[in-house]
Amino acid sequence: MIDIDIALVVLNWNGKNLLEQFLPTLIEYSPEASIYLVDNFSTDSSVSFVKKKFPEISIIQHNQNFGFAEGYNKALSLIDADVYGLINSDVEVTPFWLQPIFKFYNNNQNASILQPKILDFNHKSYFEYAGAAGGFIDKYGYAYCRGRIFKHIEEDKDQYGSSSIFWASGACLFIKSKDYKNLGGFDSDFFAHYEEIDLCWRAKNNNLSVDYISTSQVYHLGGGTLDTQNPFKTYLNFRNSLFTLIKNLPEKKIFPVIFSRMLFDGIAALFFLAKGKPLHTWSVLKAHLQFYIYATRMYNKRGEHQHLNYYQTRSMVWNAFIKKQNRFKP
């Protein structure tokens, strides 16, 4: 029995081609949910296209590009539903994909955040980088997933069943609306990238659950807005990961972990330079400068509780590059 109300919310910025490609299956395979398009002040014909082609979709238009974080915050404040399903415009859903989500929420009263299995749209038997079979972090805040360790991607052989995870991917994430509001939503200072890890860490610090549902499956194209070669994406990832650490680490861990992490970042900057990518080196340096500027502001956002056991693996860098371990080990 379906007795919860899910609103699927797609954030868009100049993605008319993606909407044309992926909205038809979202509509066809999601009859149990309402669907919203949130437009981040696109300059292409996205909005007029959706109004004409998919009149059943509700549209929320922003008057400027608020980024991923604030773009969702402003839109979700206008949407009345029990559960928000945040889904990227470059995600293809599958038949009956929502049934396991409804079932889990109906059978688990305390369920909060859920992520389905995220596979690669172009290589459908493999996990996709952004989320795979659910996310974790190591002691230094490096994010990794079951099915994806740095750039090593596993083939999906149903090796990862439904279970508790540390973070769910913003590419496709479900969260109870009351929890989203109580947590304050995404941190608008992030703009984009790492905001879902920060949200999930705050949820964990407030004893809320984050779960992976293996029986619900979607395919993610990836790189629809910013590809991996974009220096701005490098800047956001390095800066926002430091923001996440200072906001959520246990108090006594803040200095040693962030100090170590910034040393590792410096090594990464030199690596970019050696690879002939000076703009990415500058992105790392600029991320650190912004961290110094915003450190006090971020520290003041800390909640009342931080849990010591926030990681399962001490160092994914050591495991992946020294021990050559490219698969998830609890």
CB burial of 85-107 (b: ≥16 within 10 Å; e: otherwise) equals bbbbbbbbbeeebbebbbebbee
pLDDT at 246 over 60: yes
pLDDT range class, residue 227, cuts 50, 70, 90: low
Mean per-residue pLDDT over the chain, rounded: 95
Cβ contact 132:147 at 8 Å: yes
Confidence band, pLDDT 50/70/90 cuts, at residue 2: low
Name the nearest CA neighbour of 115 among 123, 127, 125: 127
Write the pLDDT tens digit of every residue in 249-290: 999 999 999 999 999 999 999 999 999 999 999 999 999 999
User: How far apart are alpha carbons 115 and 36 in whole angstroms?
Assistant: 19
Return the sign of the alpha-carbon dihedral for residues 69, 74, 77, 80. Answer: negative
Indicate if the pLDDT at residue 224 is higher than 70: no
Q: How sure is the predictor about 326, in pLDDT bands with cuts at 50, 70 and 90?
A: confident
Given pLDDT bands bounded at 50, 70 and 90, which one contains residue 150? confident
In this predicted model, what pLDDT tens digit does every residue of 158-206 receive, in sequence order?
999 999 999 999 999 999 999 999 999 999 999 999 999 999 999 999 9
Model confidence band, residue 228 (pLDDT cutoffs 50, 70, 90)? low
Yes or no: say if 86 and 172 are a contact pair by the CB < 8 Å rule. yes
The residues spanned by each domain of the chain are 231-322
Predicted confidence band at 307 (pLDDT cuts at 50, 70, 90)? confident
Answer whether residue 8 shows pLDDT above 70. yes
- Distance of alpha carbon 302 from the chain centroid: 20
Q: Rounded distance, CA 213 to CA 104, Å?
A: 8
> pLDDT at residue 226 above 60?
no
Tokens 């490609």 label which residue? 21
The pTM is what?
0.95
The pLDDT assigned to 222 comes to 86
More confident residue, 326 or 135: 135
Per-residue confidence band for 3, with pLDDT thresholds at 50, 70 and 90: confident
DSSP string of 30-51, one letter each residue: -TTSEEEEEE-S-SSSHHHHHH
User: For the chain, what percent of residues have pLDDT higher than 70?
Assistant: 98
Residue 152, φ and ψ in degrees, nearest 5: -85, 120
Q: What is the mean pLDDT of residues 208-215?
A: 98
Q: What is the pLDDT of residue 317?
A: 86
Confidence bin at 30 (pLDDT 50/70/90): very high
pLDDT band at 248; cut points 50, 70, 90: very high
* Percent of the chain predicted with pLDDT > 90: 89
CA distance 179 to 205: 13
Which pLDDT does position 191 carry in this prediction?
A: 95
pLDDT tops 80 at residue 327: yes
Q: Provide the pLDDT for residue 80.
A: 97
Average pLDDT rounded to a whole number, residues 63-72: 96
